[in-house]
């Protein structure tokens, strides 16, 4: 028995303290409710619909999204749906992916959900599954990173340069009100890196230190000079309400 306890303690010490249990997080979004106002979407772009859901959490809550979306001629999928007032977040997202059945969603952390094409789940060549042996940011503007991760990840820059158009470049002078991100990861995927940066901005925003950001990776099914193969952008911005001034 003592040996078993020692082994259990050893395994506990090896578990990262910031690791989020996926089952617990999935259960959490089944408990989060939307406000008492129904959401009606009529041929609305997918990322716009998700943004509406993200700011419609009851009790002043919020959720941000990390979205991988496939565009055709620059147009992302559109949805039509009516989400009843007071729906759970899980039910609301289920209705969204029923409207675009080629997509699915995964709860990543409190206040952060990934939405992605089903084909990406089983595609080892999906760009967001790119392996990054080591990932480091030092006081980097989070919106700069989320809008152009290739500037900070050599492996991504190399992958994009192999016959692919990297999309728009964001100038180094762009900044935001969120604190600079300092982050170090061992072996990880690009998707994990994007999520970790978003999660870091959420933690900062909850302490009233700047804004929280989600992200979008849009890949074009038919790349052209007009519609680049890859586009990255910030999706959703949340700030903690300012405390009321005493009367």
**Can you give the pLDDT of all 247 residues of the chain as single tens digits?**
433 433 333 333 323 333 344 545 555 899 999 999 999 999 999 999 999 999 999 999 999 999 999 999 999 999 999 999 999 999 999 999 999 999 999 999 889 999 999 999 989 889 999 999 999 999 999 999 999 999 999 999 999 987 554 444 444 444 555 678 899 999 999 999 999 999 999 999 999 988 999 999 999 999 999 999 999 999 999 988 877 666 6
Instruction: Indicate the pairing of strand 64-71 with strand 112-117.
Output: parallel
Q: How many residues does the chain have?
A: 247
Instruction: Indicate the domain borders of the chain.
Output: 21-122, 124-215+229-236
Choose the CATH number for 21-122 among 3.40.50.720, 3.30.465.10, 3.55.50.10, 3.40.50.2300: 3.55.50.10
Which pTM value belongs to this model?
0.84
SS3 for 57-103 is: EHHHCCCEEEEEEEEECCECCEEEEEECCCCEHHHHHHHHHHHCCCE
């Amino acid at each position: 028995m003592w040996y078993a306890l020692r082994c259990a303690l050893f395994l506990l010490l090896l578990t990262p303290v910031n690791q989020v249990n996926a089952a617990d997080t999935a259960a959490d979004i089944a408990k989060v409710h939307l406000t008492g106002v129904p959401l009606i979407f009529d041929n609305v772009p997918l990322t716009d619909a998700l943004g509406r859901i993200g700011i419609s959490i009851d009790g002043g809550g919020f959720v941000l999204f990390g979205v991988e979306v496939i565009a055709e001629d620059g147009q992302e999928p559109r949805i039509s749906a009516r989400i009843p007032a007071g729906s759970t977040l899980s039910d609301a997202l289920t209705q969204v992916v029923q409207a675009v059945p080629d997509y699915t969603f995964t709860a990543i952390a409190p206040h952060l959900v990934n939405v992605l094409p089903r084909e990406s789940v089983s595609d080892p060549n999906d760009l967001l599954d790119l392996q990054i042996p080591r990932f480091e940011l030092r006081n980097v503007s989070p919106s700069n990173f989320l809008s152009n991760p290739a500037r900070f990840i050599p492996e991504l820059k190399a992958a994009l340069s192999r016959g692919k158009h990297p999309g728009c470049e964001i100038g180094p002078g762009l900044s935001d009100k969120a604190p600079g991100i300092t982050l170090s990861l061992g072996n990880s995927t690009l998707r994990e890196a994007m999520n970790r940066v978003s999660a870091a901005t959420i933690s900062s925003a909850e302490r009233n230190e700047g804004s929280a950001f989600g992200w979008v990776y849009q890949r074009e099914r038919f790349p052209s000079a007009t519609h680049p193969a890859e586009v990255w952008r910030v999706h959703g911005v949340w700030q903690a309400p300012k405390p009321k001034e005493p009367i």
